[in-house]
Amino acid sequence: MTTFILRRLIQTLVVIALLSYVCFYLMTLMPGDPVELMIQSNPKITSEDIVRLKQLYGLDQPAYKRYATWVSTIAQGDLGYSRTYRVPVGELMGPRLYNTFILSMLSLLISLAIALPMGIYSALNPGGKFDSFVNLFSFAGISIPSFWLALMLIIIFSVNLGWLPAGGTETVGMSDADYFTMIKDRGVYLILPILSLSIQQIGGFVRYARSAMLEAMRNDYIRTAKAKGLARNVIIWRHGFRNALIPLITIIALSFSTLFSGALLTETVFAYQGVGKLVYDSIIGNDYNVAMISFIISVSMVLLMNLVADILYGFADPRITFN
């Protein structure tokens, strides 16, 4: 097992390194560098300005050289500097990554806590009243466009009822309040974004949980267990659920890999200070340092979560071995 994990970790590092170059190269492939975009809104910028700025930004160098420069600064522990915002990347991304993590983690946990029991219960009583309610709810959650849901929540809870703030991360000037008030304040701002994300995630999770459980409960050994007179709980959890785990692990691991990627739309609509929009803007605006760090994070998360999933497969089904 240890050798397996070690080998996979080494593989992972190699893939990250490879992919980071691919990403870097992709960024350089995009037509229109930031300097060219600058000219469009300002006819005053001369061609000399363009040449000078390109040299300054190093845009005149070939991609591999720039990549090498980037790697060497990273190796020195310097994450670089955001050219768009003109602040160090760590300073810019740190708090936002934290915010995104809080938002995604909470909504993921809440969705799972609601969706798994819902899915399992409706799988145990397929065709029942609860099942059709769950079905309808999850389909609605899947099909509602996220901007629509988010704006509706704002209209209802902020504009009309006035219960919750319409958007933001915290009340302005709250950063020097004491810890408890601050948490309370942050919590109030988190309710709507979490609600909007969860409603959508629950839909998908319920579908997977329900179908996996339905499938598992059809197996012959369930019939045998029932015939043996085992307690219902034992049948459901020890025999049924355990066998429904494989697809669930895959899906949950996939979801966890996006913990730090941020939900662009939800964060934007709720003006939440996450990384979603930052990353999007950094790619559009060729803010290399920010974009590359976010690529590295997302690549590592996917690979890491896949590794975790593979390990968990072994626990869920002891027949699976990795050699």
Residue from the set 195, 230, 301, 308 that interacts with another protein by CB under 8 A: 301
DSSP of 29-66, one letter per residue? HSSS-HHHHHHHH-TT--HHHHHHHHHHHTTTS-HHHH
Part in contact with another protein (CB under 8 A); list of ranges 109-117, 177-185, 232-240, 313-321: 313-321
As measured in angstroms, the least distance from the Cβ of 182 to another protein is 14
By the rule CB under 8 A, 249 interacts with another protein = yes
CA distance linking residue 258 with residue 250, whole number of Å: 13
Which among 96, 62, 68, 64 is positioned nearest to 82, based on CA atoms?
A: 96
| Residue 145: CB atoms within 10 Å | 10
DSSP letter assigned to residue 155? I
Give Cβ neighbours of residue 7 (< 8 Å, ≥ 6 apart). Answer: none
By the rule CB under 8 A, 140 interacts with another protein = yes
As measured in angstroms, the least distance from the Cβ of 230 to another protein is 19
By the rule CB under 8 A, 168 interacts with another protein = yes
CA distance linking residue 278 with residue 255, whole number of Å: 20
Nearer to another protein, 104 or 257 (CB): 257
H or E segment and range at residue 184: helix 179-216
As measured in angstroms, the least distance from the Cβ of 265 to another protein is 9
By the rule CB under 8 A, 68 interacts with another protein = no
Q: Amino acid letter at 132?
A: S
By the rule CB under 8 A, 225 interacts with another protein = no
Copy the structure tokens of residue 109. Answer: 């946990």
By the rule CB under 8 A, 47 interacts with another protein = yes
* 3-class DSSP state of 161: coil
By the rule CB under 8 A, 229 interacts with another protein = no
Number of amino acids touching another protein (CB under 8 A):
118
Part in contact with another protein (CB under 8 A); list of ranges 108-116, 177-185, 200-208, 225-233: 200-208
By the rule CB under 8 A, 37 interacts with another protein = yes
